[in-house]
Amino acid sequence: MTNMSRSPFTYEIEQTEPPRKFSMPYFISFKGDGDSKKHLKHYRNTMVIYQNNDALMCKIFATTLQSEAQDWFHTLLPRSIRNFDDLSLIFTKEYSSYYLIKKKFDHLFNVKKNPKELLRDYVKRIKAEKAKIVGCNNSIASATF
């Protein structure tokens, strides 16, 4: 366990206790191989009623990290995090290469059926790619099919 002198949080954050009756919400863990913006958005939405409590936002966010992301967190300089904005910024910078690139409907024109692929498998792939496109309706997907 990391002692407080090695914590990336300021003393003020470390010393802050959670509010009475605080109950830990459920979070999707971030392991370092996903979209950091999506994780941050999920976290902020889940913690919306505590958004004005910077110390709590920082301390609880650290518990949502696992594996490589947890290892990264423990490499942060001691006392370098003063607030949740600082933490959010360095987190998104560290994992910016994992952002999901939003695709446009014309992406579906590039999804070709492989000669030995079953039609049902091809349709599954088309549907999976369609799900990655914001605002793609069925008529557009049908036209590209």
Looking at the structure, do residues 64 and 26 belong to the same domain, yes or no?
yes
Q: At what angle do helices 54-63 and 84-94 cross, to 10 degrees?
A: 30
Nearest to 6 by CA among 84, 81, 79: 79
CA angle 11, 13, 19 (to 5 degrees): 135
Domain that holds residue 65: 4-98
Count how many domains the chain has.
Answer: 2
Nearest to 111 by CA among 137, 143, 87, 139: 143
Q: pLDDT (tens digit, 9 = 90+) per residue, 54-80? A: 999 999 999 999 999 999 999 999 999
Residue type, 72: W
Looking at the structure, do residues 88 and 113 belong to the same domain, yes or no?
no
Looking at the structure, do residues 86 and 110 belong to the same domain, yes or no?
no
Whether pTM > 0.75 for this model: the answer is: no
Q: What local confidence, expressed as pLDDT, does residue 2 receive? A: 41
Q: pLDDT (tens digit, 9 = 90+) per residue, 5-40? A: 588 999 999 999 999 989 999 998 999 888 888 899
Q: What local confidence, expressed as pLDDT, does residue 84 receive? A: 96
